[in-house]
Amino acid sequence: MSERYVDVPGGRLSVHDFGEGPPVLLLHAAIVDAWAWEPLTPFLLDAGYRVVAFDRRDTGDSRTDRVEYSNRADVIAVLDALGLERAVLIGNSVGGQIALETAVEFPPRAMAVVPVGATIPGWFPGMTAEERAIDDELVRLEETADAEAIADTDVRAWVDGPGQPADRVPDDIRELVREMDRAINATGRERGTPLPLQPAASEQLERLTMPVLATAGELDFSYILATVEYLAANAPDARAVVMPGVAHMIGLEAPDELAALITDLLEPLPRW
């Protein structure tokens, strides 16, 4: 493994680079940093892929000034810095949104896209009453800047899954996410302002001409389950997979099963 920093306008990104072979780029969820992909990485390496992951500007060892910036441009900056013409973009949650938006804005740079538990910017089917209550509580806590309380609620919502028992997921996974989440929400960290893609990705799905595998856990929020079906129905070469018995953090809960889905998708593709 090599670690390096990539300078971007108004910031610096911490990049992890593993192995050799056709590259895949992993984009993490909002409540964790790039190390959340550690359980998945060995499976992709064993399958013969080069695995690249980086901390977004406001997480992990990456930094940003108080500037407006494009998450899509940051992805391209990492690919360019590593000399990669294209990569498979795999993203969890907001990382999946970024993967989709990057593929929409820069189609030649994406060999395939695997959004995992992600929504589509610009399209939202709504929430159940239970989900709305969870979301309202998360919004309230974010306004208090109470990192401990935010982490506890994020773990219950996103690791356990809405309405699921607190002992469903092993303690080591729950504590790993809680630790990362606390660090992300710690006071004193500079924040930038990510710029949305215009028009929204939902209005440009025809640009996703590469293979897209939209993946969700059956225990995740209902709107995420609806989103993967919508994406499969509206992107040119997309299909949806709902994985049983898992919630939002599939790469931590079932890395072997997720890796199998990814490698099955990629195996028929020409090498890149």
User: How confident is the model at residue 193, as a pLDDT?
Assistant: 96
Burial of 226 (0-12, 13-18, 19+ CB in 10 A): middle
Q: How far apart are CA 31 and CA 28, in angstroms?
A: 8
Q: How far apart are CA 170 and CA 178, in angstroms?
A: 13
User: How confident is the model at residue 260, as a pLDDT?
Assistant: 98
- Taking the complete model, does pTM exceed 0.95, yes or no? yes
Instruction: Kindly give, in sequence order, each residue whose CB lies less than 8 Å from that of residue 121, ignoring residues fewer than 6 positions away.
Output: 97, 100, 101, 196, 197, 200, 201, 202
Domains of the chain by start residue, with CATH: 2-121+189-266 (3.40.50.1820), 129-184 (no CATH)
Residue type, 193: T
CB 172 within 8 A of CB 72: no
State the distance between the two ends of the chain, measured CA to CA, in whole angstroms. 21
User: How confident is the model at residue 187, as a pLDDT?
Assistant: 74
Residues of the chain with pLDDT under 50: none
Strand 11-18 versus strand 2-8 pairing type: antiparallel
User: How confident is the model at residue 194, as a pLDDT?
Assistant: 97
Instruction: Kindly give, in sequence order, each residue whose CB lies less than 8 Å from that of residue 234, ignoring residues fewer than 6 positions away.
Output: 205
Q: Kindly report, residue by residue over 215-234, the tens digit of the pLDDT.
A: 999 999 999 999 999 999 99
What does DSSP assign to residue 65? -
Q: Count of CB atoms within 10 A of residue 127's CB? A: 16
